Amino acid sequence: MSAFTTAFVGAGNMSRSIISGLIASGVDADAISASNPSEGPLEELRQLGLVTLSKNNLSVVETADVIVLAVKPQIMQSVCEELAAVIRTEQLVISVAAGVAADSLHRWSGGRADIVRCMPNTPSQLAAGASGLFARASVSAANRQRAEEVMRAVGLVRWVEDETLLHAVTAVAGSAPAYFFQFMEAMIAEAQRMGLDEETARTLCAQTCIGAGRMLAEGDVDAGELRRRVCSPNGATERAVAAFSAAGLEHIVSKAMQECYARSEEMGRELS
């Protein structure tokens, strides 16, 4: 990873996840700073080795090369307007807040910094995240690289060239861990009704989810072919998959993702 300093505004779960990933990837804790209005989250970062911590946003942002905005979308405008007094032209600002448009971030923060929006997801806490990135057209190649290096510390990264595609990223990655949790919750409950104890059902279900994901991520065939390879003719798996199709699983998934996409669009309009 190239050498640059990174300041985090907000010290919640996502900041802690990214900071932990950066340190694990070899970034010196002295190159990372953070601000937060309350002391508790800062103390947790102190346990990671961070020294430059403050309740004052301006004090950590002023000298950083990269600023990660990890605050609630509803307060993003006021935070950016505060930072506008010290943000420099060459700085990179990465926002991990859902819904707030890049042009709004650029305007609120004084119109000088390079702006990159990021849509991460909660597995970033385990360095197993999936993040979509969008950069305004004016963002330099160097700052695009820096943004990618920061987010690669917590998982894989994919760029989108149209900001509206972040709504699709939200539907397929940002919100999607909840889909899998709900599916696994139902599987675990049914396995218990079949007689398995909770620990066994939970462990088998979780490991199967991990393994299936790896087969898709690391293999060279699509999900449909992987499904077909598990379904022996007239076998137990084929009957289960047929039951999913008969119940309209494909329609349910499509409807859920469309609702997620629509709400992401609404939030963008409300917040920007």
Q: How far apart are CA 30 and CA 231, in angstroms?
A: 53
**Which pLDDT does position 271 carry in this prediction?**
84
3-class DSSP string for 23-57:
HHCCCCHHHEEEECCCHHHHHHHHHCCCCEEECCH
**Co-location of 16 and 110 in the same domain:** yes
> How high is the mean pLDDT of the chain?
95
Phi-psi region of 116 (alpha: psi -120 to 50; beta: other; left: phi over 0): beta
Residue 120 three-state SS: coil
**Co-location of 117 and 86 in the same domain:** yes
The 10s digit of each residue's pLDDT in 33-81 is 999 999 999 999 999 999 999 999 999 999 999 999 999 999 999 999 9
The 10s digit of each residue's pLDDT in 129-159 is 999 999 999 999 999 999 999 999 999 999 9
69 has which bridge partners? 9, 95
Q: Contact at 8 Å (CB) between 55 and 35?
A: yes
**Co-location of 145 and 197 in the same domain:** no
Q: Contact at 8 Å (CB) between 101 and 93?
A: no
Closest CA to 153 of 31, 66, 25: 25
The 10s digit of each residue's pLDDT in 193-243 is 999 999 999 999 999 999 999 999 999 999 999 999 999 999 999 999 999
**Co-location of 209 and 110 in the same domain:** no
DSSP string, 155-206: EEEEE-SSTTHHHHHIIIIISHHHHHHHHHHHHHHHHHHTT--HHHHHHHHH
Whole domain around residue 84: which residue ranges? 6-160
**Which pLDDT does position 1 carry in this prediction?**
60
Q: Contact at 8 Å (CB) between 133 and 159?
A: yes
Last residue of a domain, one of 136, 160, 184: 160
Neighbouring C-beta atoms of residue 127, cutoff 10 Å? 16
The 10s digit of each residue's pLDDT in 148-190 is 999 999 999 999 999 999 999 999 999 999 999 999 999 999 9
**Co-location of 124 and 217 in the same domain:** no
Token pair belonging to 155: 């998982």
Q: Which residue type does 221 have?
A: V
Q: Is residue 251 part of a domain?
A: yes
**Which pLDDT does position 272 carry in this prediction?**
73
**Which pLDDT does position 72 carry in this prediction?**
93
The 10s digit of each residue's pLDDT in 89-132 is 989 999 999 889 999 999 999 999 999 999 999 999 999 999 99
Number of compact structural domains in the chain:
2
Q: Is residue 168 part of a domain?
A: no
Asked whether residue 3 carries a pLDDT value surpassing 90, the answer given is no
**Co-location of 37 and 147 in the same domain:** yes
**Co-location of 23 and 137 in the same domain:** yes
92 has which bridge partners? 66, 114
**Co-location of 188 and 142 in the same domain:** no
CATH number at residue 220: 1.10.3730.10
> Distances from the Cα of 186 to the Cαs of 87, 163, 180, 238, 266, in angstroms?
48, 34, 10, 19, 30
Q: How far apart are CA 168 and CA 265, in angstroms?
A: 10
